[in-house]
């Protein structure tokens, strides 16, 4: 099984989506675990690599499962928060902060749209705001 981790980066009532030219898709930032890495470490590293955001880990949001090329893959997700500006990288050619409604329209994968259903609209505000 392929093990991956990712983040739902939340700020100012919006979530961060990334566009990967290689797949021509809009998705939540995620990627494969490296040897010896925890799921949480992978989620933070992958978001940093894809968007340049150094995030703070929040609560776990569950897992999604699918089979790219017939190989089972699990992605474990966390809510993340970050300051600063997101940017492009070698893997990502565009980033976009969007509302939940916009994310549901833009995301390429049903499993990621379903993951967003775990977020309450009022929960998209930063703690203490």
Q: What pLDDT, on the 0 to 100 scale, is given for residue 123?
A: 61
pLDDT (tens digit per residue) in 49-106: 999 999 999 999 999 999 988 999 999 999 999 989 999 999 999 999 999 999 999 9
pLDDT (tens digit per residue) in 106-119: 999 999 999 998 88
What is the number of structural domains in the chain? 1
Domain range for 33 is 2-119
* Structural domain contains residue 102: yes
Residues 27-45 have a mean pLDDT of: 98
* Structural domain contains residue 126: no
* Structural domain contains residue 61: yes
* Structural domain contains residue 125: no
Q: For the domain that residue 96 is a member of, what is the CATH number?
A: 3.90.79.10
Are 1 and 72 contacting, i.e. CB atoms less than 8 angstroms apart? yes
Gap between the Cα atoms of 58 and 60, Å rounded? 7
Residues 6+ apart with CB under 8 A from 126: 10, 11, 12, 81
Q: How many residues does the chain have?
A: 129
Confidence check: pLDDT of 124 > 80: no
Q: What pLDDT, on the 0 to 100 scale, is given for residue 126?
A: 47
Sign of CA dihedral 113, 116, 121, 126: negative
């Amino acid at each position: 099984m392929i093990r991956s981790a990712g983040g739902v980066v939340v700020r100012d009532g919006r979530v961060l989506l990334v566009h990967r030219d290689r797949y021509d898709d809009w998705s939540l930032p995620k990627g494969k675990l490296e040897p010896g890495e925890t799921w949480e470490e992978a989620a933070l590293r992958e978001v940093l690599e894809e968007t340049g955001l150094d995030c703070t880990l929040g609560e776990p949001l569950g897992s999604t499962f699918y089979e790219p090329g017939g190989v089972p893959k699990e992605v474990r997700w966390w809510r993340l928060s970050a300051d600063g500006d997101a940017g492009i990288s070698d893997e990502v050619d565009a980033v976009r902060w969007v509302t939940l409604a916009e994310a549901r329209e833009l995301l390429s994968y049903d499993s990621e749209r379903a993951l967003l259903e775990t977020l309450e609209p009022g929960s998209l505000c930063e703690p203490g705001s």
